[in-house]
Amino acid sequence: MTFITKFLPAVFAFSLLGVGSLGPNANAASKDPVIIGVEAPITGDQASNGQDIFRGVKLAVKQANAKGGVLNRKIKLVKLDDKASPDLASAMVKKAQAKKVVAVVGPYNSGVGIINLPQYVAAGIVPLSMASDDDTIGYGSTVQPMVEQIAPVEIAYIKSTMAKSVAMLVDPSDYTQGIADSVKTGLESAGITVTQVPVSEDVNDYSAEITRALSTNPDLLYSSTYFPEGSLIAKSLESSNPDSPKCLMGLANVDPAFVTTAGIKASQRCLFDGVPEAPRFPGASAKAYTKAYKKAFGINPGVWGIFSYDSANVLFAAIQSTGGTEYTPVFDAVRKTANFAGATGSITIAPATGVRNDVPLFIMTVNNKGKYVVQP
């Protein structure tokens, strides 16, 4: 069974995601390029996701520029590599200001976004966030899942297993701790016993934490971690704890690098909440995106580039509709996005919050080829 938050229809009209609406505008006074930034962990432990996010926006820019850009102006891309480090959050805003960026897609990490999304807004730079922590809501807009949308999917799945007790391995970062706490609250309200065990980043062995979690004899293990930790946890479960219960990996674990590190067999011990890599994302629009991405970069897309691609195209359509790049009109236009044909499906953003309605989410497995697939 597939668990989805307000599941979207599988097939949407594909307009190369708004690019057709980005044609020349005779009212545009300037011929200077429209400069947008992409903030993500382009290097470091989470670089596979960060590079995919960057390439998603780069593809959107390439397609838009091939049709004349936006407002009859070419779009220029600025790379903002935060390395997933909150310590670099403010520096990214300063760099964006120095480069005269008018809008930014990102950041990806919630711990970074909690710090610098308010700073982007204060600087008059329109953010299309790739972070999922609910504490980032209100600062710009987002087209990808938020904690308030993710937690109910995970709670529903865990309840469907008839588990009476759950042990959680939790990275104390803002997003992973926040989603774990939300899931814990939901499970406890249903009478399910929950224990949390903290795990640290940049550790190569989580056997002590796993032993502590298993000491409670849980019916299910839940790992609210990022993929560098989650992959090592899955690998340890497979090698040292073969009789441990089934595990559910939270959304931040979904990355091709998880399977590369843990191995296919260890990855198959777990289910995953989130979205699959773009080639296995439902719908004709995602297939068209995958084909264009592979042609542009020579590799298959990952998980999050399809959302950054949609973010960029929503932004371009908003700029086009306002006839300029001024902060307030563009900010408001993004939030008024309705029924936009995206690669991830139809996109409507709630004007009051900037959060996307009807966001797609799935429970997934890893197949014998090491790919994430939506559970039937």
In a domain, 12, yes or no: no
Average pLDDT over residues 100-113: 96
Average pLDDT over residues 138-147: 93
pLDDT at 16 over 80: no
pLDDT at 119 over 50: yes
Q: Quick one: 71 and 190 in the same domain?
A: no
Closest CA to 257 of 106, 370, 150: 370
Q: What is the pLDDT of residue 113?
A: 96
Give the end of a domain, one of 242, 274, 306.
274
Q: Quick one: 296 and 308 in the same domain?
A: yes
The helix (run of H) or strand (run of E) holding residue 262 is helix 256-262
Bridge partner list, 168 = 196, 222
Binned at pLDDT 50, 70 and 90, residue 71 comes out as very high
Distances, alpha carbon 65 to alpha carbons 69, 99, 325, 376, in Å: 4, 19, 16, 39
Q: Quick one: 67 and 158 in the same domain?
A: no
In a domain, 225, yes or no: yes
pTM: 0.82
Binned at pLDDT 50, 70 and 90, residue 28 comes out as very low
Say if residues 364 and 272 touch (Cβ distance below 8 Å): yes
In a domain, 7, yes or no: no
Binned at pLDDT 50, 70 and 90, residue 9 comes out as very low
Q: Quick one: 77 and 122 in the same domain?
A: yes
Give the end of a domain, one of 240, 274, 308.
274
Q: Tokens 């936009």 appear where?
A: 340
Instruction: Supply the range of the domain harboring residue 258.
Output: 147-274
Q: What is the pLDDT of residue 29?
A: 56
Distances, alpha carbon 144 to alpha carbons 158, 164, 345, in Å: 22, 31, 11
Q: How far apart are CA 169 and CA 195, in angstroms?
A: 9
Average pLDDT over residues 68-92: 97
Q: What is the pLDDT of residue 255?
A: 87
Closest CA to 143 of 356, 326, 291: 356
In a domain, 4, yes or no: no
Q: Quick one: 48 and 70 in the same domain?
A: yes
Q: What is the CATH number of the domain that holds 152?
A: 3.40.50.2300
Q: Quick one: 217 and 243 in the same domain?
A: yes
User: What's the mean per-residue pLDDT of the chain?
Assistant: 90
How many Cβ atoms sit within 10 Å of the Cβ of residue 135? 15
Q: What is the pLDDT of residues 308-361, one digit of tens each?
A: 999 999 999 999 999 999 999 999 999 999 999 999 999 999 999 999 998 889
Q: What is the pLDDT of residues 261-310, one digit of tens each?
A: 999 999 999 999 988 889 888 889 999 999 999 999 999 999 899 999 99
What is the percent of the chain where pLDDT is above 70? 92
Give the end of a domain, one of 274, 296, 314.
274
pLDDT at 11 over 60: no
Q: What is the DSSP letter of 283?
A: S
Q: Quick one: 187 and 155 in the same domain?
A: yes
Average pLDDT over residues 89-110: 97
Number of structural domains (the chain) is 2
CA contacts within 13 A on the Cβ side of 346:
13
In a domain, 365, yes or no: no
Say if residues 347 and 143 touch (Cβ distance below 8 Å): yes
Query: Phi and psi of 87, rounded to 5°?
Result: -65, -20
Q: Hey, is 168 helix, strand or coil?
A: strand
Query: Phi and psi of 374, rounded to 5°?
Result: -65, 130
Q: Quick one: 130 and 175 in the same domain?
A: no
Say if residues 128 and 140 touch (Cβ distance below 8 Å): yes
Closest CA to 63 of 52, 50, 77: 77
Say if residues 254 and 360 touch (Cβ distance below 8 Å): no
Q: Tokens 């308030």 appear where?
A: 148
How many Cβ atoms sit within 10 Å of the Cβ of residue 89? 21
Binned at pLDDT 50, 70 and 90, residue 242 comes out as confident
Q: Quick one: 193 and 293 in the same domain?
A: no
Q: Quick one: 200 and 237 in the same domain?
A: yes
Q: Quick one: 94 and 165 in the same domain?
A: no
Tokens of 159: 């309840």
For strands 247-249 and 270-274, give the pairing: parallel
Average pLDDT over residues 149-157: 93
The most confident of the ranges 5-14, 201-210, 307-316 is 307-316
Average pLDDT over residues 255-262: 92
Q: Quick one: 179 and 268 in the same domain?
A: yes
In a domain, 201, yes or no: yes
pLDDT at 203 over 80: yes
Q: How far apart are CA 241 and CA 239, in angstroms?
A: 6
Say if residues 234 and 269 touch (Cβ distance below 8 Å): yes
Q: How far apart are CA 320 and CA 21, in angstroms?
A: 7
Q: What is the pLDDT of residue 237?
A: 92
Contacts of 158 (CB under 8 A, 6+ apart): 166, 183, 187, 192, 220, 222, 248
In a domain, 228, yes or no: yes
In a domain, 49, yes or no: yes
pLDDT at 12 over 50: no
pLDDT at 108 over 50: yes
pLDDT at 22 over 90: no
